[in-house]
């Protein structure tokens, strides 16, 4: 009809199409989200590794998507205008505000765009909070984190966010956690994580940046009176209780005498050690540096190496309190607790021994374990009306402390606070560590330097308190050396 050949749309016109415009909105929205996330991330006291993923991976990804859409829109538009040359009708976006249809579309578009920007800002704020949350850390990657999450919920720190302990403050901790966060996410999705997750985790330290944010390191604790309730693995489940006065003391002489168990935290001294294994259960070399410059080195006779060839760790809270949030109870202790709280009836013959034996079998998966534990216990107490309560408690104990899918239980995660089921204090205080002058650290046999036994046994025996400390009467079991771990593996059955 007309021979007027339209020129291809000008560059700026190429972008005037709905696709490019939506792309621009997405790009703008993600750019704002990025700025917002970056600001939160920058200002927040405790950085969060997953924030990095959002701010530096997710938001830019959307930005790129937006830019691609803009380009795609322009490309389609250009092809269109080329086709116009071939006689097709032209559909470039022309907005004529005198047309009601255009007015409506424009209002709709602007409203939508504003809404999108608001939602993306609000969304990134919410995501920020979510990624800080315990729920995110503990449950998003369900299988690998389940053991730590479950034990955490049962710990005295159940209301302390994961990030409070796991991400220290300071620039290096921050960057490390960021990189680690991305790494963890990749591992989780690809299924390449270790079972069990290795411990100790190197990037948790130092304690100054985590534990000491809440716990005042120079606090004087003094003596703590603790009661440990146990039951023997015999027919009558004989109670055996130990009541200790733990000499925790303090580490800062401005607040009380510096001494006792928290002496190690003496702000004036530095305790360093070398570990012979990855889990730091074998400690052959220890060095104490006092403020006055006096240095004492202790080593076991077997350790003849030059210390400079090894990694030297500085002792802190977590060398003793390594399970403040993830305590995998030994089956012995888990069952004793249930018995002492009356959740399992001690009148059931051999119940301690049977329950323990049922828990510690090698099961392939939790579902399998829960079913087999029930079958075993029901068969052992066929006509006992208390059997169902026992089964329910056994299953709960299992779920709280055993995670076969991750191979996580007390065997994988030693608790270093005591010395009964794991070497703990006796890693250093075993009597074998000597200095060149023959000086020894408090040996295991010197029970009273760490605690006094106020009372022990059962029934009326527990009323006989002794302020100076009873000698430890250890049943009638043969008991000649002080390496409790030689016999106590955390699971005694008969
Ligand atoms: C009170 C501080 C604290 C809190 C809160 C905390 N953890 Fe831990 N976490 C630790 C300590 C201490 C270790 C042991 C590290 C060591 O010995 O080096 C640890 C270890 C771990 C490990 C390594 C495996 C292991 O058991 O040693 C994982 C995984 C873990 N925590 C995940 C979490 C998750 C997920 C949360 C939140 C649901 C959380 N943690 C909360 C202190 C904490
Ligand atoms: C965000 C604060 C916070 C951080 C960080 C923190 N804790 Fe705690 N801790 C608490 C609170 C709260 C309690 C419970 C106090 C109570 O209820 O008596 C507690 C209790 C404890 C107890 C006594 C537990 C018991 O069995 O009675 C120990 C030991 C302890 N924390 C050690 C640690 C260690 C070690 C770390 C570092 C890995 C740490 N905490 C990090 C807040 C914190
Ligand atoms: C040499 C090992 C050791 C070191 C190091 C150590 N503690 Fe303790 N701490 C203990 C023992 C043992 C107890 C007694 C309670 C127990 O058995 O859980 C205790 C008790 C505590 C308690 C509970 C006090 C109460 O009133 O209930 C807190 C909190 C605590 N320690 C925090 C810390 C912090 C924070 C650090 C690091 C600055 C630290 N500890 C370093 C061994 C240690
Ligand atoms: C890494 C090695 C190491 C570990 C683990 C360790 N200690 Fe010590 N402990 C030392 C050293 C070193 C000394 C100081 C020896 C000296 O006097 O030269 C010491 C001293 C002590 C003292 C005497 C403090 C004083 O008043 O002089 C007590 C009590 C004590 N430790 C208890 C414990 C308890 C309880 C545990 C376990 C929760 C424990 N230690 C774990 C290395 C260790
Ligand atoms: C280096 C310090 C130290 C020495 C030496 C020491 N203990 Fe302990 N012991 C501890 C600590 C710390 C705990 C508390 C563990 C906890 O809170 O779980 C403990 C706990 C115990 C318990 C209770 C354990 C439980 O789970 O029921 C008994 C029993 C005990 N000690 C006996 C002894 C005897 C017997 C000796 C001497 C042969 C001795 N201890 C030497 C530090 C020591
Ligand atoms: C020669 C092996 C042996 C040594 C070493 C040993 N024990 Fe025992 N212990 C036993 C036996 C066997 C029982 C009885 C277990 C049962 O019937 O449940 C027992 C029971 C106990 C009990 C009460 C029941 C229980 O299972 O908790 C406590 C507490 C205890 N021992 C603490 C210690 C401490 C602390 C040390 C180190 C100072 C130690 N034992 C060293 C063999 C030993």
User: Which ligand has the minimum distance to the alpha carbon of residue 198?
Assistant: 1
Residues 450-487 pLDDT 10s: 999 999 999 999 999 998 998 888 865 555 567 899 88
Q: Specify whether 88 is located in the same domain as 166.
A: no
Query: Is the model's pLDDT at 111 over the cut of 50?
Result: yes
Give the pLDDT of residue 188.
64
Identify whether residues 384 and 281 lie together within a single domain.
Answer: no
Burial (CB count within 10 angstroms: exposed 0-12, middle 13-18, buried 19+), residue 383: exposed
Position 5 scores a pLDDT of 45
Residues 336, 320, single domain; the answer is no
In terms of phi and psi (left: phi > 0; alpha: psi -120 to 50; beta: otherwise), the region of 471 is beta
Q: At residue 160, what are phi and psi to the nearest 5 degrees? A: -100, 125
Distances (CA, A) of 1 to 4, 5, 89, 90: 9, 11, 12, 14
The per-residue pLDDT for 471 is: 87
What was the pLDDT predicted at 40?
75
Q: Which atom of ligand 4 is nearest to the CA of 315?
A: 1
Which ligand does the CA of 248 lie closest to? Answer: 3
438: CA distance to ligand 4 center in Å? 17
Does residue 299 sit in the same domain as residue 429? yes
Pairing relationship of beta strands 239-249 and 451-457 according to DSSP bridges = antiparallel
Is there a contact between 157 and 110 (Cβ–Cβ < 8 Å)? no
Burial (CB count within 10 angstroms: exposed 0-12, middle 13-18, buried 19+), residue 369 = buried
Q: How many angstroms is it from 487 CA to the middle of ligand 5?
A: 15
Q: What is the pLDDT of residue 333?
A: 96
Closest CA to 195 of 11, 444, 405, 21: 405
Domain finish residue from 95, 111, 132: 132
Distance CA(358)–CA(369), nearest Å, equals: 9
Assigned domain for 303 exists = yes
Residue among 390, 267, 417 nearest 335 (CA): 390
Instruction: Please give the share of the chain, as a percent, with pLDDT higher than 90.
Output: 47
Give CA–CA dist 39/58, Å, rounded.
Answer: 15
How far is ligand 3, taken at its centre, from the CA of residue 216, in Å? 11
Picking from 374, 406, 438, the residue at the C-terminal end of a domain is 406
Residue that wins the pLDDT comparison between 445 and 202: 445
Ligand 5 atom closest to 444 (CA): 5
| Residue 231 binned pLDDT confidence (cut-offs 50, 70, 90) | very high
* Ligand 6 atom closest to Cα of residue 231: 24
Residues 92 and 154 occupy one common structural domain: no
Q: What does the pLDDT average to over 303-327?
A: 93
Our measurement of the distance from residue 273's CA atom to the centroid of its chain's CA atoms, rounded to an integer in Å, reads 24
Q: Is residue 494 part of a domain?
A: no
390 lies in which domain range?
331-406
Say whether both 319 and 229 belong to one domain.
Answer: yes
Do 335 and 317 share a structural domain? no
Contact assessment for residue 439 and residue 288, using Cβ atoms and an 8 Å cutoff:
no
- pLDDT computed for residue 3 by the predictor: 45
> Which phi and psi (to 5°) does residue 284 adopt?
-85, -10
Q: Is residue 288 assigned to a domain?
A: yes
On whether residue 200 sits in a domain, the answer given is no
Sort strands 239-249 and 270-274 into parallel, antiparallel or unpaired. Answer: unpaired
Summarize pLDDT for 355-404 with one digit per residue, the tens.
Answer: 999 999 999 999 999 999 999 999 999 999 999 999 999 999 999 999 99
Does a structural domain hold residue 361?
A: yes
Same domain, 117 and 29: yes
**C-alpha–C-alpha distance, residues 474 and 484, integer Å:** 11
| Ligand 1 centroid – CA 38 distance (Å) | 26
Pocket probe mutation, ligand 4, options 262, 263, 419, max atoms within 8 Å of Cβ = 263
Instruction: Report how many domains make up the chain.
Output: 4
Q: Are 149 and 139 in contact (CB under 8 A)?
A: yes
- Domain co-membership, 36 together with 156: no
Same structural domain for residues 357 and 247? Answer: no
Tell me: the pLDDT tens digits for 131-159?
A: 666 666 666 666 778 899 999 999 999 98
Higher pLDDT, 170 or 237: 237
Output the CA 270–ligand 4 centroid distance in Å. 12
Compute the half-sphere exposure of residue 475: CA atoms within 13 Å on the CB side of its CA. Answer: 12
Q: What would the mean pLDDT of 87-96 be, rounded to a whole number?
A: 61
- What is the Å distance from ligand 2's center to 165 Cα? 10
Residue whose CA lies nearest to ligand 5 atom number 13: 418
Domain assignment present for residue 212? The answer is no
Residue 199 falls inside a structural domain: no
Q: Which two tokens stand for residue 49?
A: 């590794």
Q: Provide the mean pLDDT of the chain.
A: 84
83 vs 340: which has the higher pLDDT: 340
Q: Which two tokens stand for residue 113?
A: 């765009």
Last residue of a domain, one of 108, 132, 156: 132
- Ligand lying closest to the C-alpha of residue 316: 3
Tens of pLDDT, residues 273-310: 999 999 999 999 999 998 888 999 999 999 999 999 99
In a domain, 369, yes or no: yes
Q: Which atom of ligand 5 is nearest to the CA of 418?
A: 15
Residues 118 and 21 in one domain: yes
**Ligand 6 pocket check for 476: Cβ under 6 Å:** no
Provide the β-strand partners of residue 310.
none
For residues 309 and 440, membership in a common domain is answered with yes
């Amino acid at each position: 009809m007309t021979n007027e050949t339209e020129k291809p749309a000008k560059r700026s016109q190429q972008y005037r199409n709905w696709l490019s415009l939506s792309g621009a909105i997405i790009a703008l929205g993600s750019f704002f989200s990025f700025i917002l996330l970056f600001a939160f991330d920058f200002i927040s006291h405790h950085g969060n590794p997953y924030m990095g993923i959002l701010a530096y991976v997710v938001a830019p990804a959307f930005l790129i998507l937006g830019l691609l859409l803009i380009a795609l829109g322009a490309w389609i538009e250009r092809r269109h205008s080329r086709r116009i040359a071939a006689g097709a009708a032209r559909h470039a976006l022309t907005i004529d505000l005198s047309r009601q249809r255009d007015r409506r579309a424009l209002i709709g578009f602007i409203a939508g765009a504003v809404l999108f920007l608001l939602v993306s800002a609000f969304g990134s704020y919410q995501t920020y909070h979510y990624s800080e949350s315990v729920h995110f850390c503990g449950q998003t990657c369900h299988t690998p984190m389940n053991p730590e999450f479950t034990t955490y919920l049962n710990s005295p720190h159940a209301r302390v966010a994961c990030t409070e302990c796991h991400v220290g403050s300071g620039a290096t901790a921050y960057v490390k956690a960021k990189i680690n966060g991305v790494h963890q996410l990749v591992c989780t999705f690809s299924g390449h994580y270790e079972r069990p997750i290795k411990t100790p985790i190197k990037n948790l330290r130092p304690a100054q940046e985590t534990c000491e944010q809440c716990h005042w390191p120079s606090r004087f604790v003094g003596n703590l009176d603790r009661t440990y309730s146990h039951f023997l693995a015999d027919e009558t489940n004989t109670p055996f209780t130990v009541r200790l006065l733990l000499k925790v003391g303090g580490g800062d002489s401005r607040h009380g005498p510096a001494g006792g168990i928290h002496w190690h935290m003496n702000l004036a001294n530095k305790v360093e050690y070398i570990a012979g294994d990855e889990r730091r259960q074998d400690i052959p070399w220890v060095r104490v540096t006092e403020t006055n410059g006096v240095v004492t080195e202790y080593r076991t006779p077997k350790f003849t190496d030059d210390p400079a060839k090894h990694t030297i760790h500085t002792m802190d809270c977590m060398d003793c309190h390594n399970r403040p949030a993830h305590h995998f109870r030994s089956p012995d202790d888990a069952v004793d607790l249930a018995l002492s709280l009356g959740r399992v009836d001690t009148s059931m013959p051999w119940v301690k021994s049977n329950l323990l034996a049922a828990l510690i079998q090698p099961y392939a998966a939790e579902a399998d374990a829960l079913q087999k534990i029930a079958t075993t216990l029901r068969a052992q107490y066929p006509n006992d009306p208390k059997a169902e309560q026992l089964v329910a408690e056994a299953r709960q104990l299992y779920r709280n402390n055993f995670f076969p899918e991750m191979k996580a239980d007390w065997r994988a995660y030693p608790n270093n606070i005591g010395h009964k089921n794991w070497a703990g204090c006796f890693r250093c205080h075993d009597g074998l560590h000597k200095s060149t002058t023959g000086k020894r650290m408090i040996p295991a046999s010197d029970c009273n330097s760490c605690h006094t036994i106020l009372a022990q046994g059962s029934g009326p025996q527990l009323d006989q308190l002794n302020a100076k400390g009873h000698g430890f009467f250890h049943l009638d079991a043969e008991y000649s050396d002080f390496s409790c771990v030689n016999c106590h593996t955390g699971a005694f059955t008969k």
